[in-house]
Structure 1
Amino acid sequence: MVMKETRSSKLANFLGWFSIALGLAELFAPRRVGRMVGVEGDGSLVQAYGLRELLGGVGILAARQKAPWLWARVAGDVLDMATLAPGLYNIRRNRQLASGLAVAAVAAIALLDIYGAAQAQGQR
């Protein structure tokens, strides 16, 4: 029996693959990713976030019940924005811009995560 993939499962799978791709980038190029989003440091925090993303993505793709994993992504988005927010007040304008763009990008994906989680939860 072939199961038809619903729009919400397609979104969940997209978010799962997105998490894996982002997680790999954060794990293997933490300093570069950090510079792109205005986070300074040795990259260990970015790597930790990358591991979180990677595990979350695998969880989304492997789980029958995707909602808990998608809600975990929402929690991760909140953590990401809290980490990026101090960069908005950086004295260097280029860091402010990078942080601002990163916060906007995380906010946009957070909306997708919330929508996807709500849709997946409604399918139970």
Structure 2
Amino acid sequence: MDDRKLLTIAENIKENSYSPYSNFRVGAAVLTESGKTFAGVNVENASFGATICAERTAVFKAVSEGERKIMAVAISSDSDDYTFPCGICRQVLAEFGADDTRVICGNRNGEFKVFRLGELLPNAFLKF
């Protein structure tokens, strides 16, 4: 799947975001080694620690369906700036991805930049 198509999935799913506290809608889509895609949104909670990011929602959906290898993730929000995964999401992506996993960071205008996960999380804490 090409990067634009994966980003479009992320852009479309963000409509389902539950973000009444931050008003910052985020959608994410992951592509797994088997070629399947899984999408997720951020889900906020009045107890902020219970909030989950879109990227982790998508990864956890994939893992719960038996997938264990993430090839790419696309992230979209309503921001004019490119949307990057937070630190916790980068660590979760490292658990199921690799240094060369593509991270497609989009903005509200449909523009995007592609990075390798190893660029965004050098020296990740990994299994030993």
State if a TM-score over 0.5 links the two structures: no
Larger RCO, structure (CA 8 Å, separation 6 or more): 1
Q: Of Structure 1 and Structure 2, which has the larger fraction of its residues in strand?
A: 2
State TM-score, norm by structure 1: 0.31
Larger radius of gyration: 1
State TM-score, norm by structure 2: 0.30
